[in-house]
A and B are shown apart, each in its own frame.
Chain A
């Protein structure tokens, strides 16, 4: 404990360290502010969509109070399925700037390609990514940690003072690890403080576990980089060599491995072709269109209870029958499409431990609620909701039933159901354990390398 306190004091008298801490605090603050503004914008557009939906429902209700309505007057209007703002938006922008949080659903377009309403965005900005808290924590935190702790004993070795220090009787690993902790602690305290601050910027309740886990991810990720610093110092003969090695490892883990994984994933499970999906679904539609009348009569044969008097199909029931047929033809294609994207994500989940940066980023976006899985859950629920809309209107059209006041209560409404807590907790905890294991591995290697015998050699 005394060594730790001493090292901490030594660290804090260096002016350069105060510069590092100030810079880090500045980038953290900017990252939080940026992420929070994205969260506010998401809130605003969600509010607007909710207001629009509410207004439309009110109009329909009032109209139905007066008289019964032809369902055609209501069904054509798109309902907006809304993914509510993320629980911790200030923590990570994640995929929320790319994937739509709203989708317009109308009866006549159920089988058309989905109409996600993503905000207008400059594609270069999507390419660059946001300067959010997750960026600061995953990309920059290691750089600040390494800047503070790259020279744990390499400089001493260079100048010859290492012998003197070791002559004091302190074991090298103990001394180096305490030194690394002393130098890393102030940086990590700032980082954890930032996570807590970002945690307060939400209207969501019960996000305590998310915040706590995010803080843990950051600490464990930080410890990994401190262990790397210690390991590097076991080898480097000069401070410059230590800095070079630490920098190269950072480049490897944060820049090269993630992009390599990206390439591997793309090559093993190529993204399916949207272009072909679009063209194929049009071909299916054309095919169904040609057989429209035949489809309708066979439908009434199967569903006599829905057949109108005289079995005479009108335009709308024909359109519905055609649409159903397109759905039958396209469902397997769409399932294959969704499946191959899921395969990609599974591969990422498996290989995220190749680099703690990937694991940490996945965990932070997952905790923020802006990652892959929450958007996927939304997409699945949207697909299910399309079925609800279809099942609600379809019998009414076939039987030519008007909408009445009694239908108001059973009107299809989209309500996003958050993913089961245990699922994201399992994913995040697995990631956390993985990062911890990598940190432990680096620390063990460093301890081995810094054993007195090795050091003497």
Chain B
């Protein structure tokens, strides 16, 4: 019978902690780029507030949207970056020729992403509140499920992206970095989905963040947003985690069967 050992997953987190502790180059990106984004969009919203008709605060739609989207990006990249550390250091045989199971390994990557993305989220929230006066009370309790849906989808996409790198080789990491930017037009981070042509809207409905940003705008504009709609987004995100996990296991088995895993460190696999 296969048993899940949390200690083994914790070892993966510990390795990432050691890497970060000794490397400012790894720690700074956890919050610097998202902080820059918040500062940039904070000033844009200030400017828009100064020229727009009084009574509407752009911070709740634009700055809040940037914050949520950057959080999603950090979660996804938190998983893939932790995975890529093993690619870059050619560590696969050391990792996979041990009792560590695939689920323990992937769970370790997810735990790493939880901790790194929470750091980014805390910095973004502090900046947005203190410097630009963004009050999260305007979103009410819905902020929690908003973050949860984005977190789940970020995890799913991170696992999927890691599997793609495992399958296609180290050079394919360049396909992974722009994924959040590629998705952003479809999920309506800054505009309602009705702005999009119908073929794009079909894709939007398959992407959980679309439900979050629609909900966020509806609440800010004083409308009523159904929790059931968001629940659908959450279920979709949970389904994607299961599918991404299955895809990772499938790719791992392919890599073990074809010898890709054993010779992954060789340049030839890229």
Do A and B pair up? The answer is no
